Chains A and B, each alone.
Chain A
């Protein structure tokens, strides 16, 4: 079974530039998560999708971050404009369904460096 795919794996940009990350979850997984992991900390949820609808985006900085999940499969996370403090690893995860108790399957992440 293929895992969660993410691209790019690494990205270096200058502050105020824009960047986009892509995620392809495990086939059939209805729930998709985007996390931000700053060095030395645990993953912090940015946004959660159930199929193509947003379940939770309470911790998403909506003035600069946006995300979509078209057709309930792939998802993109965009930052525009980027700030220095956005340097982090952006992890995508998926699980078969929301609610109840489900393990989350994480992708390899995209390491973003903002200069």
Chain B
């Protein structure tokens, strides 16, 4: 049974930092690209970050570039998102997602909630 379990979401003040984790089981994690996708309250889905199996290609959404860092530990089947200089508009549910075929994300976690507020 495939599971993606996010954690690390919390209430944080503007300008603060947070590190999200996504632990994956039931698949050979090292063979899968990974993404972080978020949904702000009342808004649509937005790709936050993308990372290839070997971490050689890493891409970020425009508003995250320079503030967020995605990484992975294939030995631990884990994906991470380091979020710095957080802003109110980063408030969202953050999902990790992947799939066997490039771009076709059919495996999702349940999401972790990040709230940026003073």
Say whether A and B bind each other: no
